[in-house]
Amino acid sequence: MIINTGGRTDTVQYYTDWLLNRFSEGYVLTRNPLFPNKVNRYELTPDKVDCVVFCSKNYKPILPRLHEITDRFHTYFHYTITAYGKDIEPGVPSIEESIQTLIELSKLVGKQRVAWRYDPVLLTKKYTVSHHIETFDKMANMLVPYIDRCIFSFVEMYKKLEINMPELIPLSAQDMDGLARGLGSIAEKNGIYLQACGTNGDYTRYGIHASGCMTLDILGKANDILFKNLKHKGMRQGCHCIESRDIGAYDTCLNGCKYCYANKNPHKAYENYKYHDLASPLLLGHVRPEDTIIQGIQQSFLAKE
């Protein structure tokens, strides 16, 4: 099975010690978002976990101890660095600091295990199409020696976003085509493998690939291992990723990104943080008498030698 550490929250930035504790103790508990009294247990041991996939906007807190995981497990790292400032991503380090941390991460784990995520791409009066193209160009020049690929996606216009970001300008088909053309041209110039994530749009004419960002092919090549030829069900419409198990929890990320889908609002995350216990197998709180613990299915995707 594939363990995902960062789909529901930025575990690496805000819960590094807890995460390392879980891998040290060899198991984790995660509450079912739809049925809160059901708690899944997953063994965090090399014989049960094929690969650990990370996704974060700041790996700095975990770098000194990352070897505790990479020495034992196959891994892959998604690093999100966008064009936005504190007005959109209040808890995220500056672009310059983020790029430096990505470089340090890449030197530790190898560029073949690092994907730069430039997403979501959204528009405001400040963050225009030309601003994205200019910023992406500068970042690509600096990051090309340290990344396996770059992944971008267009922002999803869901109801909550309209409330949290009234300044958002809806992306037109012309906007998306212009952005794809610009990003594709820059990627080609720098020799970067660029792919779109979670979009049904076809931008192959600009050299943009539509394959999933977390596939067994990507994870296998990054770690020099062979997986079975399995169908990738995806996590949502337009997604081509392999299924994984997320060990985080919603409404716990303190980054405060305006476009966030995983938090109802930033205040909720700060309220929940007080329930975090480094020693608990759950990211938030503890197992309650009314909870039912279910052993999660952990079927290996690895091909037999």
Q: pLDDT in tens for each of the 305 residues of the chain?
A: 999 999 999 999 999 999 999 999 999 999 999 999 999 999 999 999 999 999 999 999 999 999 999 999 999 999 999 999 999 999 999 999 999 999 999 999 999 999 999 999 999 999 999 999 999 999 999 999 999 999 999 998 877 787 889 999 999 999 999 999 999 999 999 999 999 987 668 899 999 998 778 889 999 999 999 998 876 565 555 556 788 999 999 999 999 999 998 888 778 999 999 999 999 999 999 999 999 999 999 999 999 75
Domain assignment present for 301: no
pLDDT at 158: 79
Domain assignment present for 300: no
Distance CA 202, CA 205 (A): 8
**Beta carbons within 8 Å of 30's beta carbon, 6+ residues apart:** 39, 40, 42, 245, 246, 247, 248, 249, 282, 283
Domain assignment present for 140: yes
Domain assignment present for 305: no
Name the 3-class secondary structure at 152.
Answer: strand
pLDDT at 233: 63
Domain assignment present for 303: no
Query: Do the beta carbons of residue 153 and residue 119 sit within 8 Å?
Result: yes
Look up residue 149 and give its two tokens: 């690929």
pLDDT at 239: 58
Domain assignment present for 304: no
- Confidence (pTM): 0.94
How many distinct structural domains can be found in the chain? 1
Burial of 193 from C-beta contacts in 10 A (0-12 / 13-18 / 19+)? middle
Distance CA 199, CA 212 (A): 10
Q: In what order do the strands lie in the sheet with 245-246?
A: 194-196, 149-154, 114-121, 75-80, 51-56, 2-4, 245-246
Terminal-to-terminal C-alpha distance of the chain: 17
Burial of 290 from C-beta contacts in 10 A (0-12 / 13-18 / 19+)? exposed
- What's the domain range around 182? 2-295
pLDDT at 195: 95
CA 257 to chain centre: 14
pLDDT at 235: 55
Distance CA 102, CA 158 (A): 30
Domain assignment present for 193: yes
Domain assignment present for 13: yes
Instruction: Return the closest-CA partner of residue 52 out of 96, 4, 92, 121.
Output: 4
